[in-house]
Amino acid sequence: MWKSHWNKVCGLFIILGAASLVTILVASDASSSNSSPSADPDISGAYLLAFHAFDPDAGNCDDCEILKYSVRSTTTASVYVEPSGTCGGNAPCYSTIQTAIDAASSGNAIKIAEGSYDEALSLSSSKDLTLQGGWDSTFTSQSSNTTVNSLTISNGSIEVDKLILQSSSSGWTFTEDNVSLGITGVSPEAILLSDDSVRLYVTGGSQGMTLYRASDGLTFTEETASLPLGGSDPTLIRLGDGTYRMYYNDRDTIKTATSPDGLVWTEESSTGISNTNNNGAWGVPDSVELPDGRVRLYWVDTPIYVTPPNGYEVVKSAVSPDGLTFTEESGYRTENTNGEGGWADPHVLLAEEGNWVGLFSFIPPFTEENPNEPMTIHVGTSTDGLTWSIESEPIITVSGGHVGDPASYPLGDGSYRVYHVATSELNPPHNYFITSGILKPK
């Protein structure tokens, strides 16, 4: 409760408030005998004090003097968030965290009721805020946590307490075609041709790779082709002159071959990328043309051979100005997950400046205690193709089996037809076959 004392002799107006003491000198004559001070708080915790001094000798308000001062308490002002907008009677109260951030002033503590909020938070103004999660419905106890999707700060600063950042559900959906393609094998690679038919290169068969074609992307027939003998895990790019370059595994080396039509291939050279530790889990390259015209090649490796479950695959990358001579990029594009599984089978769907989307296979920790955990396929995003954020929830699974080796072609509406390997059993996996479905943004 605010109290006031007016000293007519000294002309002092003293305001006593919680944790604050302010003295204001009044500029009007000491004979002024009528006054009406008022103070109203704003959201920043400051009080705008308006003092009206009235001179009775003037007989009117022409000589009134209005003095205004901003008075800030030494305590931090609080803003409250609770989905119903009641906040246990505390004010100011907002039903969303972002609204509170937008309304708050620098120095505010935003107290948020416990629970999950489907919000991607951002701060773009020069404020210094504190987000305090986990408050109970009366905001008297902070014993839990608050979960949000993300927090982006482009200006100002935010200090967080009991706030958990957790990715929201995938921005993609996958619907199986529920059509038998009649193709067995692994590591498919899909190419959309000029007549809108689809060519599918699959690892399997007596020559190492087999070629199929479908006018509708679903009804495939085998094509006669001259493919690199003994090669596997192909990935293709279309060159500027309309010809094709293939990157493929040849035992423990990634090699290249070229073709004018995608049917007859001439072996070209080695990329210099090889299996450095003689690991069985190696290769499965994926090639992508960068926005600046260079070629990036991704592949799977196990840097140091360690018997599972302690050693799992990582994804490496290298770049080339001409598609032939590659320089390995430092670090790993994906890390192993400390005995909890690893990432493999990279496949880039979209490579735009600042906007990358890819698919990755999750390799679970195959242990005696848990021998039946399936391989799954997940969506990953990146701003540069180097640092990837992979969703924890899978986008592609199959009942009673494993999935992996994704490949795709664009459908022209922002969606993709994805081909992938599936098995009919978990442990051990049986009947490797190719299946498909539509991946589209929500």
Domain that holds residue 23: 3-72
Residue where one domain finishes, among candidates 114, 148, 165: 165
Residue partners of 75: CB distance under 8 A and separation at least 6: 18, 19, 45
Contact assessment for residue 419 and residue 190, using Cβ atoms and an 8 Å cutoff: yes
232 with 202: CB under 8 angstroms? no
Amino acid letter, 205: G
DSSP class per residue in 61-83: STT-EEEEEEEE-SSPPEEEE-T
Q: Which of these three, 72, 100, 119, is where a domain ends? A: 72
Q: How many domains does the chain have?
A: 3
Which letter does DSSP use for residue 372 in this model?
Answer: T
User: 337 and 408: one domain?
Assistant: yes
Residues 42, 105 within the same domain: no
246 and 290 belong to one structural domain: yes
| Domain edge (last residue) among 72, 91, 121 | 72
Same structural domain, 248 and 352: yes
Q: What is the enclosing helix (H) or strand (E) of 100?
A: helix 97-103
142 and 161 both lie in a single domain: yes
Q: What is the pLDDT of residue 144?
A: 80
The pLDDT tens digits of the residues spanning 109-140 come to: 999 998 878 787 888 889 999 999 989 989 99
Let me know: does 68 contact 13? Beta carbons within 8 Å: no
125 and 231 share a domain?
A: no
pLDDT of residue 22: 37
185 and 275 in a single domain? The answer is: yes
Residue given tokens 């003491």 in the structure block: 21
Residues 212, 90 share a domain: no
CATH number for 371: 2.115.10.20
CA–CA dist 352, 382 (Å, integer): 10
Same domain, 211 and 103: no
**CA 364 to CA 397: how far, in whole Å?**
13
Say what the pLDDT of residue 369 is.
62
- 219: amino acid identity, one letter: T
Average pLDDT of each block of 10 consecutive residues along the chain (442 residues)? Answer: 31 34 37 43 48 49 48 68 92 94 94 84 90 92 82 85 71 91 96 97 88 98 94 95 95 93 96 77 88 94 58 85 95 70 90 93 73 87 92 88 95 96 85 95 88
269 and 328 share one domain: yes
Q: Can you give the pLDDT at residue 378?
A: 94
Q: What does the alpha-carbon distance between residue 81 and residue 146 come to, in Å, rounded to a whole number?
A: 11
Around 429, how many Cα atoms within 13 Å sit in the side-chain half-sphere?
Answer: 18
Q: Tokens 């080796």 appear where?
A: 405
Residues 28 and 141 in one domain: no
pLDDT of residue 127: 92
Do 283 and 388 fall into the same domain? yes
